[in-house]
Amino acid sequence: MPRPSDVFPLDPSKPIIPVDVLLEGPKGRQFVRMAIDTGATYTMAPVGTLLAIGYDPSRPTQRIEFVAVGGVEYKPLVKVHAIHALGVRVSRFEVVCHDLPPQSPVRGLLGLNFLKHLNLHLNFPHRRLTVSH
């Protein structure tokens, strides 16, 4: 029996593919608008969101190398209780703690460490994003 799929609208005229992502922590849950980014190894969430749901990015157990315009930086890697996006939930999920510039249309990036859990099909001519479960 085939598994069901979730279908989401896709606007090919936009420069990004935005999605609403729910992050869960020990002190709550918070939605973050993120862009699907197949070029990002890790999912990235803002400092304020991680603080609000109960994580302290100033005391990470691990930092990762982050290549930025000005050179290499080391950013905190936080393991959140769960992440929900595109109809999929992943527990004990690693997120890089980093704020995007204020002029960005999204607050974070949904990277390959999340996308690898999906069967994702981008159908630009038909203006839909399909996630098969």
pLDDT tens readout for residues 62-101: 898 877 777 888 899 999 999 999 999 999 999 999 999 9
Say which range, 3-7, 13-17, 61-65, 101-105, has the weakest mean pLDDT. 3-7
Specify whether the CB–CB gap between 34 and 21 falls below 8 A. Answer: yes
Sign (positive or negative) of CA dihedral 30, 36, 42, 47: negative
Asked, for residue 34, whether it belongs to a domain, the answer is: yes
> End-to-end CA distance of the chain, in Å?
12
Q: 100-104, long-range: CB within 8 Å, 24+ apart, which pairs?
A: 100/44, 100/46
Asked, for residue 44, whether it belongs to a domain, the answer is: yes
**Structural domains of the chain, count:** 1
In this prediction, residue 54 carries a pLDDT of: 96
Where residue 2 falls among pLDDT bands split at 50, 70, 90? very low
Asked, for residue 96, whether it belongs to a domain, the answer is: yes
Rounded Cα gap, residues 64 and 73, in angstroms: 8
Asked, for residue 62, whether it belongs to a domain, the answer is: yes
We report the CATH number of the domain holding residue 92 as 2.40.70.10
